[in-house]
Amino acid sequence: MKRALRDYGRTSARPSGSLSFLERSGNWLRSLRVVIAPIVVAAGLILSAAPVFTPLASWPNFALVLVYLYALYRPNQLAAWTGVPLGVLADIVFAMPVGANALLMPLFMIAVQWVDRQGSRVHWLADWALAVPLLLAYQLILWRLCLIAAPSDLPGAEALPFLYQGLASLAAFPLVAVLFVRIQRRFVDGIRT
């Protein structure tokens, strides 16, 4: 008994000490599943900032749709507090006033989770319909925050790019949802599709 108490803190007595190298590396790789969601959203941010030359600002905000999907389907993988660093990254990537997305993204995630708790999901089309007011409200509030940070002489003209981006994000929702499911099945759940 005394020997067991004395050897308790040593490596040989710990359960991980008896694991092989492959088992320890497998456990380490499984623990990396925690960072998949922020990496996927950051990749969506980079993809949203890709240079696309269109006459209108019609490139979707993939990161916002991914944040919506994570908040709706996998809130345990992307906690609301992770919206702050992702929002700062979005502010830097999109050249917006620092703090605008950092403020809105966690509030957006909390709002999505609150609305989801109020009702029941029936079909993914209902989730798409739920995304319409939430994504457009996010874009309009972001426009107002940017207008407060950098006032302009034309108060209504700047809203159009934000609305176009919101509508493009809603149009890209099914594609982003399919990619979201594929990423979840492949990297998180371990199901090959």
Strands (E), 86-159: none
Q: Give the residue-averaged pLDDT of 35-63.
A: 86
pLDDT value at 33 more than 80? no
Overall size of the chain counted in residues: 193
Residue 176 has what pLDDT? 94
Q: In this predicted model, which residue has the larger pLDDT, 159 or 13?
A: 159
pLDDT value at 1 more than 60? no
Q: What is the overall mean pLDDT for the chain?
A: 83
Which tokens sit at 169? 């994000």
**CB of 92 within 8 A of CB of 45?**
no
Q: Residue type at 115?
A: V
**CB of 48 within 8 A of CB of 62?**
yes
Give the right CATH number for 36-188 from 1.10.3470, 3.40.50, 1.10.1760, 3.30.460. 1.10.1760
Among the listed residues 142, 140, 134, 132, the one whose alpha carbon sits nearest the alpha carbon of residue 170: 132
Neighbour-count burial of 67, counting CB atoms closer than 10 A to its CB (0-12 exposed, 13-18 middle, 19+ buried): buried
**Domain ranges (residues) in the chain:** 36-188
Q: Give the residue-averaged pLDDT of 41-58.
A: 84
Q: What percent of the chain shows pLDDT beyond 70?
A: 84
